[in-house]
Amino acid sequence: MRTKILLGLLSAVILAVAPMMASAATFQAEQNYSLGSSAAVNDNLYAAGADVNVAGKVTGDLFTAGANVGVSGSIGQDALAVGGTVSASGPVAGNLRVAGGNILISSAVGGETLAAGGSVNYSGSTAKNAYLYGGKVYINGTVDGNLEAAGKEVTLGPSAVISGNFSYSSPAEAVIEKGAVVKGETNFTKTEVGQEASHMFWQFVTFSAVLKFLAIILGALIALYAFRRGSTAVAEKASSDFWREAGRGFVIMAVLSVFAVVCFISLIGAPLGILAIFLCGVVFLSSIFLSPLVFARLCMKHIFKKADYEMNWWMVILSVLVLALIALIPIAGWIFTVLLFLASYGTLATYLYGKLKA
Same domain, 180 and 259: no
Structural domain that includes position 139: 2-199
Does 240 share its domain with 138?
no
pLDDT score of 126 more than 90: yes
- Across the chain, mean pLDDT equals 83
User: Are residue 54 and residue 112 in the same domain, yes or no?
Assistant: yes
pTM beyond 0.85, yes or no: no
Give the per-residue pLDDT at 78.
Answer: 94
| Residue 12 within any structural domain of the chain | yes
- pLDDT category at 128 given cuts 50, 70, 90 is very high
User: What's the rounded Cα separation, in Å, for the pair 261 and 280?
Assistant: 13
Q: pLDDT at position 274, please?
A: 77
Q: What is the pLDDT of residues 317-342, one digit of tens each?
A: 788 888 888 888 888 888 999 999 99
Whole-number pLDDT of residue 192: 66
Q: Does residue 128 sit within a domain? A: yes
Question: Residue 83 burial by CB count (10 A; 0-12/13-18/19+): exposed, middle or buried?
Answer: buried
DSSP assignment of 276-311: HHHHHHHHHHHHHHHHHHHHHHHHHHHTS---S---
pLDDT at 157: 96
Burial class from Cβ neighbours inside 10 Å (0-12, 13-18, 19+) for residue 183 reads exposed
What is the predicted pLDDT for the residue at 30? 62
Query: Would 222 be classed as within a structural domain?
Result: no
pLDDT at 227: 83
Are 260 and 298 contained in the same domain? yes
| pLDDT class of 105 with cuts at 50, 70, 90 | very high
Burial of 101 (0-12, 13-18, 19+ CB in 10 A): middle
Residue 239 forms part of a structural domain? yes
Residues 103 and 21 both lie in one domain: yes
pLDDT tens string 112-121: 999 988 899 9
Instruction: Indicate if 189 and 243 belong to the same structural domain.
Output: no
Residue 218 lies in a domain: no
Domain count, the chain: 2
- State whether 248 and 288 are in the same domain: yes
pLDDT digits (tens, 9 = 90+) for 196-215: 555 555 555 555 566 677 77
User: What is the model's pLDDT at position 23?
Assistant: 42
3-state secondary structure of 240: helix
Residue that finishes a domain, picked among 199, 215, 242: 199
- Tell me: pLDDT of 189 over 80: yes
Judge if 255 and 172 occupy the same domain.
no
- Confidence (pLDDT) at 260: 76
Q: Same domain for 192 and 311? A: no
110 & 257 share domain:
no
Same domain membership, residue 310 and residue 165: no
166 vs 51, residue with greater confidence? 166
The answer to whether position 68 is within a domain reads yes
Does residue 217 lie within any of the structural domains?
no
Least confident range of 40-49, 68-77, 206-215, 330-339: 206-215
Q: How confident is the model at residue 20 (pLDDT cuts 50, 70, 90)?
A: very low
Residue 204 lies in a domain: no
pLDDT at 215: 75
Give the residue among 74, 101, 77, 76 at the shortest CA–CA distance from 88: 74
pLDDT digits (tens, 9 = 90+) for 225-268: 778 888 889 999 999 999 999 999 999 888 888 887 777 777 66
pLDDT exceeds cutoff 60 at 4: no
pLDDT in tens, 163-176: 999 999 988 899 99
CB of 291 closer than 8 Å to CB of 340: yes
By three-state DSSP, how is residue 316 classified?
A: helix
Shared-domain flag, residues 10 and 113: yes
Q: Which of 199, 217, 246 is the last residue of a domain?
A: 199
Average confidence (pLDDT) over 172-195: 87
d(CA 350, CA 329): 30
Residue 28: φ, ψ to 5°: -135, 125
The answer to whether the beta carbons of residues 295 and 340 sit under 8 Å apart is yes
